[in-house]
Amino acid sequence: HPQLPVDLMVEAATEETLQALIEVEVQRPFDLEHGPLLRVKLLQLVADEHVLVLTLHHIVTDGWSTPIMVDELVQLYEGFSTGKEVSLPVLAFQYADYALWQRQWMDAGERERQLAYWQAQLGDEQPVLELPTDHPRPAVQSHAGASLDFVLDDELAWALKQHAQKQGVTLFMLLLASFQTLLHRYSGQDDIRVGVPIANRNRLETEGLIGFFVNTQVLKATFTPQLGFDDLLQQVKATALGAQAHQDLPFEQLVEVLQPERSLSHSPLFQVVFNH
């Protein structure tokens, strides 16, 4: 939109100060009431070398949007630098159209259909995952934590793909079932619920749009002493396919209806996320 407020700043930088300047920019909060929700900073290293820093609030973008934006930016930049005119395809469908369509579709009965599905899936009890941790859960949760990176070796990755193919499931389903098994073993709980982000772009018109479409789903696995892993895989497959067919209901509306016990110490409906 031509009148969308964009904050553009130009600042001198050196290789030594570059990362620090980027970090300061990333940590600067947004004003959701007045904007802008897109900030652009151009860091000049030398006369002909710059670093462009784009900072967007998650309310206007998602992971799917990023390569779209980068690709369009590269096209425009290449055209400008070579003097060629670049015309991006006109969007027949805008984010506002999607929002209106979603509201109308939900109001026409789809909300009730999808809510009924999720209520049947998740029931009236919303258990909290109790992992054995080295410290008690704080009264108010924070996002202060560490990250652990590790790589699955080629042999294991190949074996996982082979087993998934043999069982007629996707690699996502196999890894989710494995993760839920791990949580079951650590917690001792038989009802394991995991939050799973989903792209939620199941209409062709949304594929080229920049915006926040992603939704969060709650996928439940139920464990019994007699349950074998391949049986669990088929349960997870059925749950994942059912969730895909009911992916439009906004997560916050699900929380509102199920009314789990709210606490500042943990998030509602699930306490772990699996993002594949």
Across residues 154-163, what is the average pLDDT? 97
Q: How far apart are CA 36 and CA 38, in angstroms?
A: 5
Q: What's residue 144's pLDDT?
A: 82
Q: How far apart are CA 231 and CA 238, in angstroms?
A: 11
Q: What's residue 156's pLDDT?
A: 97
Q: What's residue 7's pLDDT?
A: 67
Using one digit for the tens of pLDDT, what is the confidence trace for 2-50? 556 666 778 888 999 999 999 999 999 999 998 899 999 999 999 999 9
Q: What's residue 5's pLDDT?
A: 63
Q: Cβ distance 78 to 86 under 8 Å?
A: yes
Across residues 156-168, what is the average pLDDT? 97
Using one digit for the tens of pLDDT, what is the confidence trace for 84-124? 999 998 888 999 999 999 999 999 999 999 999 999 999 99
This prediction has a pTM of: 0.84
Q: What's residue 84's pLDDT?
A: 93
Using one digit for the tens of pLDDT, what is the confidence trace for 45-95? 999 999 999 999 999 999 999 999 999 999 999 999 999 999 998 888 999
Q: Give the confidence band of 145 by pLDDT, cuts at 50, 70, 90.
A: confident
Q: What's residue 1's pLDDT?
A: 47
For residue 192, is pLDDT > 60? Answer: yes
- Give, as one character, the DSSP assignment of residue 205: G
Give the DSSP letter string of 20-78.
Answer: HHHHHHHHSPP-TTT--SEEEEEEEEETTEEEEEEEE-GGG--TTHHHHHHHHHHHHHH
Q: How far apart are CA 220 and CA 218, in angstroms?
A: 6
Average confidence score pLDDT of the chain = 93
Across residues 118-134, what is the average pLDDT? 94
Give, for 222, the enclosing helix (H) or strand (E): strand 215-222
Give, for 9, the enclosing helix (H) or strand (E): strand 6-12
Q: Cβ distance 201 to 237 under 8 Å?
A: no
Q: What's residue 261's pLDDT?
A: 87
Q: What's residue 6's pLDDT?
A: 66
3-state secondary structure 161-199: HHHHHHHCCCHHHHHHHHHHHHHHHHHCCCEEEEEEEEC
Q: What's residue 3's pLDDT?
A: 58
Task: Give the long-range contacts of residues 49-52, CB within 8 A, separation 24 or more.
Answer: 51/13, 51/18, 51/22
Return the SS3 of 10.
strand
Across residues 119-134, what is the average pLDDT? 94
Higher-scoring residue by pLDDT: 12, 219? 219
Amino acid type, 152 = L
Q: Cβ distance 122 to 194 under 8 Å?
A: no
Task: Give the long-range contacts of residues 80-88, CB within 8 A, separation 24 or more.
Answer: none
Beta bridge partners of 55: 39
- In the structure encoding, which two tokens stand for residue 140, read together? 């108010």
Q: What's residue 165's pLDDT?
A: 97
